């Protein structure tokens, strides 16, 4: 596994755990962040486009985690 794949996997895992801990589904988080659920899914999977990174930051803040 490359370093980039490892980082992406780590981000995905953090969000999955945070969603579980907050008893929240991705669709609910998408509504809270006012983003398309598909875009949120890509961002939480660890995509690294500027828009995905911004969504990751907002999601992390909403879920109370650090990236």
Looking at the chain, list the stretches that DSSP marks H as alpha helix, in order from N- to C-terminal side: 3-21, 26-33, 37-44, 50-63
Overall domain count for the chain: 1
For residue 6, the model assigns a pLDDT of 74
| pTM summary value | 0.88
For residue 8, the model assigns a pLDDT of 75
Domain housing 33: 3-63
| Residue 50 to residue 2: CA distance in whole angstroms | 21
Provide the residue-wise pLDDT of the chain in tens; the chain has 67 residues: 788 677 778 899 999 999 999 999 999 999 999 999 999 999 999 898 999 999 999 999 999 999 8
For residue 40, the model assigns a pLDDT of 97
Please check whether residue 25 is in contact with residue 3, taking contact to mean a CB–CB distance below 8 angstroms.
no
């Amino acid at each position: 596994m490359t370093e980039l794949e490892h980082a992406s996997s780590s981000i995905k895992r953090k969000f999955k755990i945070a969603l579980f801990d907050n008893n929240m589904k991705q669709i609910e988080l998408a509504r809270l962040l006012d983003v398309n659920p598909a875009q949120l899914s890509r961002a939480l999977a660890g995509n690294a486009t500027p828009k995905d990174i911004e969504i990751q930051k907002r999601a992390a803040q909403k879920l109370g985690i650090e990236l």
